Amino acid sequence: MLCGLLRIGLLFAILSLGVRGAGVTTHLTYVTRVASEKFDDYYPWLKAGAFFPDSLYSCKPSKQLSEFAEATHWPPFLMSGLKLWQERYGSIPSKKYSQDSVRLQAFLTGVFSHQIVDSSWHSLVDGFRSHGLLRVLAETEFHGQIDDAHDFLDTIGDFIGLSNIFSDITDLNWKYYVNSNWTIPKEEDMTELLSRNGLSPGKISYKELEVCVSRGLSASVSETFVMLSRRHEVLSLAYKISPASRDIMQEYWLGGEFDLIAMLQKCLPVYQNLFDTNSLDQNSIRQIQLCGNLPNTLSSSHGALRIDTNQDVSIVRPVTSLSNFGTSIALGQFKSDGKLYMAVSAPTQNSEGCVYLILFSQVSSRTDSAAVMEPFTPMRGSTVHTFSTHGVDFLVISEPGSNSIHFYHGGRRYLTIRDGMTSDAFQLQLYAVADIDGDSEPDLLLSGPFYGKNETGRAIVIPGIELVRYLRLSSTNNTDVDISSLSIVSLNGGPYNRAYQHFGAAMAASHLYSGKGFLYVTCQSLGAVFVYPLFGLQPSSLPKYVMTYKGLLTPEEEPPIDIKVIPSAVHGMFGKGMLSFGYKGNNYLAISQHLFNYVFIYREDDYLPKFLLKIRLEDDQQTAAWSIGFGTAIAYDVRSETLHISSPGSFDNKGAIWKISMQELLAAAEAWKTDTFYVNVVNHLDLVNPWDDTKGFSNFGKVLQIAPNKSVIIGAPQYGNGNLHDKQLTGAVFVR
Q: Is the pLDDT of residue 279 over 90?
A: no
Return the sign of the alpha-carbon dihedral for residues 141, 142, 147, 148: negative
What pTM value is reported for the model? 0.91
Which helix (H) or strand (E) segment is 583 a member of?
strand 574-583
Average pLDDT on 340-358 reads 88
Residue 421, burial from CB neighbour count under 10 angstroms (0-12, 13-18, 19+): middle
Taking residue 30's Cβ as centre, other Cβ atoms within 10 Å add up to 24
Question: Binning pLDDT at 50, 70 and 90, where does residue 129 land?
Answer: low
Q: Is there a contact between 628 and 649 (Cβ–Cβ < 8 Å)?
A: yes
**Helix, strand, coil percentages in the chain from 3-state DSSP, rounded to 5:** 35, 25, 40
Average pLDDT on 137-161 reads 93
Q: Is the pLDDT of residue 29 over 90?
A: yes
**Residue 240 phi/psi, 5° resolution?**
-70, -35
Let me know if residue 2 belongs to a domain: no
Look at residue 691 in the predicted model and tell me its pLDDT.
86
Question: Which has the higher per-residue pLDDT, 376 or 424?
Answer: 424
Distance CA 107, CA 193 (A): 12
639 to each of 33, 151, 435, 582, 728, how far by Cα in Å?
43, 50, 21, 12, 37
3-state secondary structure of 231: helix
Name the DSSP letter for residue 596: T
Give the CA diameter of the chain. Answer: 85
Distance CA 625, CA 693 (A): 24
Distance CA 386, CA 380 (A): 19
CA 540 to chain centre: 32
**How many Cα atoms within 13 Å fall on the side-chain side of residue 421?**
17
Look at residue 74 in the predicted model and tell me its pLDDT.
86
Short-list 233, 250, 230, CA closest to 169: 230
Question: Binning pLDDT at 50, 70 and 90, where does residue 289 land?
Answer: low
Q: Is there a contact between 289 and 697 (Cβ–Cβ < 8 Å)?
A: no
Name the DSSP letter for residue 584: T
**Pairing status of strand 551-553 against strand 732-735:** unpaired
**Pairing status of strand 712-716 against strand 458-462:** unpaired
Look at residue 474 in the predicted model and tell me its pLDDT.
78
3-state secondary structure of 155: helix
3-state secondary structure of 656: strand
Look at residue 295 in the predicted model and tell me its pLDDT.
36
Look at residue 585 in the predicted model and tell me its pLDDT.
94
Average pLDDT on 376-403 reads 84
Domain range for 90 is: 24-288
Average pLDDT on 690-719 reads 92
89 to each of 81, 104, 188, 226, 285, how far by Cα in Å?
12, 10, 13, 42, 20
Look at residue 388 in the predicted model and tell me its pLDDT.
97
438 Ramachandran zone, left/alpha/beta (phi>0; psi -120 to 50): left
Distance CA 328, CA 383 (A): 5
Let me know if residue 30 belongs to a domain: yes
Q: Which amino acid is at 326?
A: G
Let me know if residue 345 belongs to a domain: no
Q: Dihedral (C-alpha) 188, 192, 193, 198: value to the nearest 10 degrees? A: 150
Short-list 122, 166, 150, CA closest to 242: 150
CA 632 to chain centre: 13
Cα angle for residues 472, 473, 476 (degrees, 5° grid): 90
Let me know if residue 161 belongs to a domain: yes
Look at residue 15 in the predicted model and tell me its pLDDT.
37
Range name among 269-273, 375-379, 437-441 with the lowest pLDDT average: 375-379
Distance CA 267, CA 290 (A): 9
Let me know if residue 446 belongs to a domain: no
Range name among 286-295, 412-421, 454-463, 682-691 with the lowest pLDDT average: 286-295
Average pLDDT on 693-709 reads 91
Short-list 462, 441, 336, 436, CA closest to 392: 336
Question: Binning pLDDT at 50, 70 and 90, where does residue 291 land?
Answer: low
**Residue 574 phi/psi, 5° resolution?**
-60, 125
Instruction: Find all residues with CB under 8 Å of 239, minimum gap 6, and list them.
Output: 245, 246, 595, 624, 625, 626, 627
Q: Is the peptide bond before 609 cis (omega within 30 degrees of 0)?
A: no
Question: Binning pLDDT at 50, 70 and 90, where does residue 423 land?
Answer: low
Domain total of the chain: 1
- Range 166-205 burial, b when 16+ CB lie within 10 A, else e: bbeeeeebbebbeeeebbbbeeebbbbbbeeeebeeebbe
Let me know if residue 675 belongs to a domain: no
Distance CA 141, CA 735 (A): 36
Look at residue 350 in the predicted model and tell me its pLDDT.
81
Average pLDDT on 173-195 reads 95
Let me know if residue 101 belongs to a domain: yes
User: In sequence order, what DSSP letters do the residues of 612-641 get, joined into one string?
Assistant: EEEEEEPPPTTS-GGGS-TTSSEEEETTTT
Q: Is there a contact between 447 and 433 (Cβ–Cβ < 8 Å)?
A: no
Short-list 579, 581, 564, CA closest to 523: 564
Q: Is the pLDDT of residue 272 over 70?
A: yes
What are 448's strand-pairing partners?
Answer: 458
The pLDDT tens digits for 615-673 are 999 888 778 899 999 999 999 999 999 999 999 999 989 999 999 999 999 999 999 99
- In which order are the strands placed within the sheet that holds 458-462? 429-434, 443-448, 458-462, 489-491
Q: Which amino acid is at 159?
A: F
The pLDDT tens digits for 3-24 are 444 444 443 444 333 333 348 9
Distance CA 96, CA 682 (A): 64
Short-list 535, 697, 129, 405, CA closest to 395: 405
Q: Where do the H-state alpha helices sit in 35-73?
A: 43-51, 63-71
What average pLDDT is seen over the chain?
A: 88
Range name among 160-164, 234-238, 275-279, 702-706 with the lowest pLDDT average: 275-279
- In which order are the strands placed within the sheet that holds 574-583? 574-583, 586-593, 598-604, 609-617, 676-679
% of the chain at pLDDT higher than 90? 65
% of the chain at pLDDT higher than 70? 89
Q: Which amino acid is at 480?
A: D
Question: Which has the higher per-residue pLDDT, 268 or 430?
Answer: 430
Let me know if residue 74 belongs to a domain: yes
What is the SS3 string spanning 362-410? HHHCCCCEEEEEEEECCCCCCCEEEEEECCEEEEEEEEHHHCEEEEEEC
